[in-house]
Amino acid sequence: MIPVQGMEGSRVAVLGLGRSGLSAARALQAGGAEPVCWDDNPAARQAAEAEGFVCMPFKTVDHMEGIARLIVSPGIPHLYPVPNPVVALALAAGVPVDNDIGLFFQSFATGDWDSFDTAPRVIAVTGSNGKSTTSALIYHILEHVGRPCQLAGNIGRGVLDLDPAVDGEVVVLELSSYQTDLARSLTPDVAVFTNLSPDHLDRHAGMGGYFAAKRRLFAEGGPDRAVIGVDEDEGLFLAGQLSQGPVDDRVIRVSVEQKLTGPGWQVFARKGFLSEYRKGKQVGSIDLRSVAGLPGAHNHQNACAAYAACRTLGLAPKVIEAAFHSFGGLPHRSQTIAEANGVRFVNDSKATNVDSAAKALAAFKNIRWICGGLEKEGGLAGLAEASANVRKAYVIGREAAAFAMQLSVQAEVCGTMEVAVAKAAAEAEEGDVVLLAPAAASFDQYDSFERRGEDFVEQVEAVLGR
């Protein structure tokens, strides 16, 4: 646990008692603060009270009297689409609003660091797609070289559940826009921006607000190094804002769509080859085509970002390349789960939006595509170009018929995962890939994208008799 520093003797309100909320309450208490908690869910309140925490509702401005700070769980919208009433009360009472990420950055460094030979460092990764794989890949590389490291945030443990840092340790954080949007302190040593595509637009009142939430990771604290994907206008703009000029190597530009040139620091992948250039000269190269855990251009982008982040720590290209080959990938992200009779079954349940699904479709040929679910804003037009590799779509979800009508490929309405997998497997021929890449949220049929992916795995195993 990371005890919260600087709040000793203060009463701190904690709104939302899920994983991050309870973790924040414990860390506040460990640091000498008095947490006062609330969650609209009675079961969550009961769990907190069982640990000895005081729960009370915040209904008027008077209830904020004596509160030093309000800590809001990332899953709770605070401003859009409508202001949260408790957050509004805090703001009206002049109470600062924060989250567990802000508390972490406020509290991570301690006096013990004075005796360390190498100060611990934090690498924080954000973006629309690929941030989980990028974060896990950085962590895997660090483990491969024997560097002390921990993984947390939107993946793994909550940030305040981390162990206090040891000499030379690196903490890798995956941070969503929900987490960067409210944190009052954001001071990573290395910050990574993978890419940007429309997502969570209701939460941020549009693309501008969504980008602004991501941008805070780079603008609030000023990382020593920034790794920026520049294949979208927003990333190119962000790199330009952070850089002092063409030779400023504090900004490392990353691309999978173009060869990057100039006197600065660039990492890009073309035709399956990763290249690193500094001061106009190539200093590193990796053939990514044989890296089984990182298939497709979208994973090559993740590889470039992870490579660049690890290069800022002084790791050699050959060491990073060796770690790439032992990376098995993450569950539900372009995960090969079976091969039978020349047919490959791939689980990319995490492809919950159009952009991530399009990247999954571009990674394979001869696709039997299982898609559908709770459609997000913007429609499915962005899938048309990527659908060239699709032989047939098998559509699931409560609104499967409406979803299927928007597709530019032959589509069959299946409704359930069981039916879709059975039909796709029966019609698949040698060389085909049965790919789950839903391009939609899972909540019409499943509690999470993980559960949807698990169902896909179960149905594939049933069809194959395993």
* Sequence ranges of the binding site: 127-133
Closest CA to 371 of 394, 398, 354: 394
- CA 21 vs CA 15, 36, 108, 124, 225: distances in Å: 7, 11, 18, 20, 30
Q: Are 34 and 11 in contact (CB under 8 A)?
A: yes
Q: What is the dihedral of CA 183, 250, 236, 275, to 10 degrees?
A: -120
φ, ψ of residue 341 in degrees (nearest 5): 55, 35
**What is the rounded CA–CA span in Å between residue 434 and residue 426?**
11
Q: Tell me the one-letter amino acid at 373.
A: G
Provide the annotated binding site for ATP: 127-133
Q: What is the DSSP string of 337-389?
A: EEEETTEEEEE-TT--SHHHHHHHHHT-SSEEEEE-SBPPTT-SGGGTGGGGG
Instruction: Give 137-159 as a DSSP string.
Output: HHHHHHHHTT--EEEEESSSB-G
Could you tell me which of 424, 298, 449 has the C-alpha nearest to residue 373? 449
